[in-house]
């Protein structure tokens, strides 16, 4: 597992619990339909999103593993309200137990995203704060390999699950987002609903060699935030899930507390940038547990360019 001293002592127990559950989930996911109908719809969560069997299974498994680890408050995408676990715990943990649910059935990479904060007295107030208060953030990625990518506030580290032992083994040095890349990721089916700055940025990329950027770009869209984050941490690029004019998307799609804030912390710790478009994402404060926010992150030069498009006169 992690080299001695890397995980702050008070985070060791929750990290061990999260890793154990993720390791078991990786096995369940790898068995796919042999485990049952993991991608079948079983209901909807507080946000009105469809819940798949694996969403609920993952949420229950993470919540069940946390008693005794010092986590007082547990906030999950799959639960409307915050759950109290260890009444004397000093930590608050927010989680997207299963990210990229639409990919479960089609055997495409999915993940788990988590954020750890110091617990405050109030359940909600522990989470309704600046992302800069996070003391740890990370994700598990269930793809061709299962890996953990995590920061404790001093760099980003990567661990790969050894399928022979089920344990996570550290690989490589600190992750650093490459400074150059020609890839962007956005769900282009929403083109006509985007704001002018976002449309202008993508238009200029699409014009390629003949446009103002004078170079050709490549595009990716996995529809799993974890997979996009992993690609960008590995080989650079930019991800955009902006707000758009579809009803319900005025603040984008992704959730601040357990999706955007932890990804933004990882990205900044790896030398990248994360914004809402005009503003640094980690400086924003959600007004409710399941609040959404536009999210743009990646290579600094690209993210700064999108910010400049937002500052430019119409």
Ligand X SMILES: O=P(O)(O)OC[C@H]1O[C@](O)(COP(=O)(O)O)[C@@H](O)[C@@H]1O
Of all helices (H) and strands (E), which one includes residue 55? helix 53-65
From the list Mg ion, ligand X, none, which binds 128 (C-beta under 5 to 8 Å, kind-based)? none
The set of residues, in sequence order, having a beta carbon less than 8 Å from that of 228 and lying 6+ positions away, is 185, 220, 221, 222, 239
Q: Is 253 in the site for ligand X (CB under 6 A)?
A: yes
Residue of 279, 280, 272 lying closest to 298 (CA atoms): 272
Question: Would you say 161 or 253 has its CB closer to ligand X?
Answer: 253
Instruction: Give me the phi and psi of 288, to 5 degrees please.
Output: -150, 160
E strand spans, 136-229: 136-142, 146-151, 156-162, 167-171, 183-185, 218-219
- 259 labelled binding-site residue: yes
Q: Is 52 in the site for ligand X (CB under 6 A)?
A: no
Question: Whole-angstrom Cα distance, residue 202 to residue 187?
Answer: 11
In this chain, which stretch among 77-85, 126-134, 237-245, 269-277 interacts with Mg ion, using CB under 5 A?
77-85
- 190 labelled binding-site residue: no
Q: Which of 99, 183, 228, 268 is the binder for Mg ion (CB under 5 A)?
A: 99
Question: Whole-angstrom Cα distance, residue 78 to residue 286?
Answer: 18
Question: Would you say 231 or 253 has its CB closer to ligand X?
Answer: 253
Q: Is 187 in the site for ligand X (CB under 6 A)?
A: yes
Q: In 147-244, where does DSSP find H-type helix? A: 196-206, 225-235
Q: Is 293 in the site for ligand X (CB under 6 A)?
A: no
Q: In 207-285, where does DSSP find H-type helix? A: 225-235, 261-269
Q: Is 228 in the site for Mg ion (CB under 5 A)?
A: no
Q: Which of 59, 86, 96, 244 is the binder for Mg ion (CB under 5 A)?
A: 96
Question: Whole-angstrom Cα distance, residue 182 to residue 235?
Answer: 10
| Binding characters for ligand X, 147-166, by CB under 6 A (x = yes) | --------------------
Here the tokens at position 281 are 């994402």
In this chain, which stretch among 21-29, 146-154, 223-231, 302-310 interacts with ligand X, using CB under 6 A?
223-231
**Torsion angle, alpha carbons of 158, 161, 167, 171, to 10:** -30
Q: Is 59 in the site for Mg ion (CB under 5 A)?
A: no
- 100 labelled binding-site residue: yes
Q: In 120-219, where does DSSP find H-type helix? A: 196-206
Q: How far is the CB of 251 from ligand X (least distance, A)?
A: 13
- 76 labelled binding-site residue: no
Q: Residues 254 to 273: which contact ligand X by CB under 6 A?
A: none
Q: Which of 25, 58, 72, 77 is the binder for Mg ion (CB under 5 A)?
A: 77
The set of residues, in sequence order, having a beta carbon less than 8 Å from that of 30 and lying 6+ positions away, is none
Q: Which of 56, 135, 169, 223 is the binder for ligand X (CB under 6 A)?
A: 223
Annotation: binding site for Mg(2+): 77, 96, 98-99, 259
Q: What is the binding site for ligand X (CB under 6 A)?
A: 49, 77, 96, 99-102, 187, 223-225, 241, 253
């Amino acid at each position: 597992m992690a080299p001695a001293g890397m995980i702050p002592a008070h985070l060791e127990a929750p990290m061990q619990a999260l890793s154990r559950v993720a390791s078991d989930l990786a096995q369940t996911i790898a068995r796919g339909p042999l485990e049952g109908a993991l991608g079948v719809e079983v209901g909807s969560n507080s946000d009105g999103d469809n819940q798949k069997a694996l969403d609920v299974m993952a949420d229950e498994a993470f919540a069940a593993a946390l008693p005794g680890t010092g986590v007082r408050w547990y906030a999950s995408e799959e639960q409307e309200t915050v759950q109290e676990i260890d009444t004397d715990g000093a930590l608050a943990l927010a989680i997207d137990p299963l990210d990229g649910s639409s990919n479960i059935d089609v055997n495409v990479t999915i993940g788990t995203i988590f954020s750890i904060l110091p617990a405050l007295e109030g359940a909600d107030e522990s989470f309704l704060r600046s992302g800069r208060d996070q003391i740890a953030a990370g994700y598990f990625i269930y793809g061709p390999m299962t890996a953990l990518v995590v920061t404790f506030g001093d760099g980003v580290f990567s661990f790969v699950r050894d399928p022979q032992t089920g344990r996570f083994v550290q690989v490589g040095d600190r992750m650093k987002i490459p400074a150059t890349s020609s890839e962007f990721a956005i769900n282009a089916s929403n083109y006509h609903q985007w704001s002018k700055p976002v449309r202008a940025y993508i238009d200029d990329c699409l014009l390629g060699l003949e446009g103002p950027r004078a170079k050709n770009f490549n595009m990716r869209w996995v529809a799993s935030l974890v997979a996009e984050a992993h690609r960008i941490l590995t080989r650079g690029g930019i991800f955009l899930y902006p707000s758009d004019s579809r009803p319900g998307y005025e603040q984008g799609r992704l959730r601040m507390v357990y999706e955007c804030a932890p990804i933004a912390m990882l990205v900044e710790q790896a030398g990248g940038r994360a914004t809402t478009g005009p503003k640094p994402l980690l400086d924003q404060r959600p007004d409710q547990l399941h609040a959404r926010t536009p999210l743009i992150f990646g290579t600094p030069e690209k993210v700064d360019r999108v910010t400049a498009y937002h500052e430019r006169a119409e």
